[in-house]
Amino acid sequence: MFKSLFAVGVLSLCLCFSLVSIDSAAAADMKVGVMNVQKVLVSSVSGKAAKEKFDQKMQDLQSKFKVEEQELVDMQSEIEKKSSAWSEETKQVKMREFQKKRRELQEKSEDARFELKTLQDKELAPILKSLEGVVEAFGEKNGYTLILDSKAGVIFFTEAVDISDQLVKDLDAAMAAK
C-alpha cells in the first residue's frame, strides 16, 4: 500500500513539475472560462421549467403530509395531557399507536424524498446532457483551452472569465430546438 501511495505521490510531483514548466508562450495562449453550472440551470428556460415542476411536486407532497403531521402533534398532546388519568395498559396502547403512526410517516417521507430525487434526476438529465454539448461547442467556437465550474473547486476567478450568462442563452436555444 505504501509503495502505491509513494508511486502516486511521485507521479503527482512529476505532473506538477511538468505543468509548472510549460513555457510562458504556451501559457499566454491559454484561454480559460469559468461557468457556474447551478446559475446556468436555474437561469435557463428549461431549468426554470424543471424547477417549477419539482417545486409543485414538493408542495403537493408537503400539503399531503401536513394533515398526518398535525395528527401526530395532536396525538402527542393528548398523550401528554391525559396519560396521568389513563391506566398503564391504555398508556402503552396509545404510545404504540403514536410510534406506529410516526414510523409510517417517516417511511412516507423517505418515499417522498426518493420520489423527488427521481423527479429531479429525470428533469435535469436531458438539460445537463444538452449543456454538456453546449459548453463543448461554445469552448471550441470561442477558442477556450479550459472551461471550469466555479462551484467545483475553483478558488479564485475574475468575473471577466465567467461565461455562465452566454451559456444560459446557448442552452435555451439548444433546448428550444428539441
**pLDDT computed for residue 152 by the predictor:** 83
Residue that the C-alpha cell 439548444 belongs to: 174
Separation between Cα atoms, residue 135 and residue 163, nearest integer Å: 10
Separation between Cα atoms, residue 65 and residue 104, nearest integer Å: 11
**155 CA to centre of own chain:** 20
What are the structural domain ranges in the chain? 24-176
Mean pLDDT of 146-165: 79
**pLDDT computed for residue 7 by the predictor:** 36
Report pLDDT digits (tens) over 80-137: 898 888 899 998 999 999 999 999 999 999 999 999 999 999 999 999 999 989 998 9
**pLDDT computed for residue 155 by the predictor:** 54
pTM of the shown model: 0.64
**pLDDT computed for residue 157 by the predictor:** 67
Side-chain-side CA neighbours of residue 116 (13 Å): 17
Report pLDDT digits (tens) over 3-43: 333 333 333 333 344 444 444 444 557 888 889 999 999 99
**pLDDT computed for residue 178 by the predictor:** 78
Those residues with Cβ within 8 angstroms of residue 7's Cβ, 6 or more apart along the chain or in another chain: none
